Structures are given as C-alpha cells and as structure tokens.
Amino acid sequence: MDGEAAGQSVPDYLKSRGIVPFLKVDQGLEEEANGVQLMKPMTNLISLLEKGAAKGVYGTKMRSVIHLANREGIAAIVKQQFEMADQIAAHGLMPIIEPEVNIKSAKRSQADAILHGQLLKALDAMPVDRQVILKLSIPSECNLYADLIQHPRVLRVVALSGGFTTDEACSELAKNSAMIASFSRALLESLQHSQSEAEFSAALDGAIQQIYEASKT
C-alpha cells in the first residue's frame, strides 16, 4: 500500500488498470476453541484504516476459520467479523467478511447451515445504509446462500477455493447461481517458479479463464 508503481501509489495504479484495491487488516488467527479460530486482536486497525482510506483503498479483507458445527463458536466468529466490519465501514471502506468453513470438516454441511443462519441474523441487524461483501466457502448444499446474495445489506457474495483444486473449485462454484469466485489457492495452483515468462502467463491466463467461466455460470 505504501509502495509506488509507474509513478503512482499502488492503489491508484491498480485502479488505473481496472483492479479494485483491497487491504488485508487481520493479524492472523487465534488457536482453535469451540471448533473455530477467531481473529487475533487487531492492535493497529484504526491507523491502518485511516491510512488505507487516505490512499484510496476501496475495502478490506479479514479471515476466520470454522472447523466444527459448534453454534457458540460460529456465533462468536460472526459477531467478531461484524463488529470489525462496523469500524471499517465507519472509515468509508467496504468490509469483506470471511468466515471460512473448513471443507475437510466432517460436519461441513451442518457448519454451513449454522453459519447461514448467523449471517442472516447479523445482516438483518445492520444499519440500512451499509453493505458488506461476504467471502464464503462454497457450500455443500447448492445455492444455500441464495437469500444472502439477494439481501439488501450485501453488495456481493464471493467464493473462496478453500483447498479445492482449481477443477474442483470451479465445478463446485458453477453449481451456485450468482456466487462468483474470489480464489487465491486455486488460482495459483498451476504456477511454478521454474516456468518461463510465457509458460507462467499461459498458465495464469488459463486459470483465470476457467475461473471466470465458472463464475459466469
């Protein structure tokens, strides 16, 4: 965020290329408790938000992880995420709320369902003039989050790849209408340090096209 590219600040350069700049604000995860990992205390959040807003950043990203279908733990994750989102929105930035459900959890479908209910409750309680972006694991039940996508407090619902391969993530995403990709792990899967520039570009282009098609579906 503090750097420069082509004589512009990095956020301004990204915007000039049609890329919306987001800022990661969390400081990592706590140890697992009640089947979840909350975010560690954000000791520099306010100064980071002020700097991000001044530099033209559009929004923020912060991640928690859900391992088990523990209602108390999932409620705590949603509460923490929305409390942080309120501070972020107060600084004029768009919060991405990311409570990732571990796709390898034996209770994945139950965790999805509990999370859905907690998110809906939190969204209904938001001020009418605010919105958030939800970044969620692809649900085990197709279109589970359809009502969240249509919720007036939600700007967009995007999907994280969460450990799926690119093929798996795209296949699962395509089953969920209007949920679009925000993949990192699946995007980078075919990229290797040993590739030539042409090979690297071709691999990246192929992954982007595949992910785009899954989002479009």
| DSSP secondary structure, 65-130, as one string | EE-S--HHHHHHHHHHHHHHHHHHHHTT-EEEEEEEEPTT-TTHHHHHHHHHHHHHHHHHTS-TT-
Using 50, 70 and 90 to split pLDDT, how confident is the model at 134?
A: very high
Stretch 135-139: mean pLDDT, rounded? 98
Q: Is the pLDDT of residue 25 over 80?
A: yes
pLDDT of residue 202: 97
What the chain holds in terms of domains, given with CATH numbers, is: 18-160 (3.20.20.70)
Instruction: Give the phi and the psi of residue 33 in degrees, each rounded to 5.
Output: -150, 140
End-to-end CA distance of the chain: 33
* Structure tokens belonging to residue 216: 């479009």
Q: Is the pLDDT of residue 141 over 80?
A: yes
Using 50, 70 and 90 to split pLDDT, how confident is the model at 136?
A: very high
- Tell which residue, 21, 29, 30, 8, has the closest CA to residue 60: 21
Burial (CB < 10 A; 0-12, 13-18, 19+), residue 55, is middle
Burial (CB < 10 A; 0-12, 13-18, 19+), residue 106, is exposed
Average pLDDT, the chain: 96
Write the single-letter amino acid at 163. G
Stretch 43-61: mean pLDDT, rounded? 95
pLDDT of residue 82: 98
- Tell which residue, 203, 186, 185, has the closest CA to residue 195: 203
pLDDT digits (tens, 9 = 90+) for 184-199: 989 999 999 999 999 9
Stretch 88-100: mean pLDDT, rounded? 97
Q: Is the pLDDT of residue 217 over 90?
A: no
Q: Are 166 and 210 in contact (CB under 8 A)?
A: yes
- Tell which residue, 94, 93, 76, has the closest CA to residue 158: 94
Catalytic residues: 98, 135
pLDDT of residue 3: 93
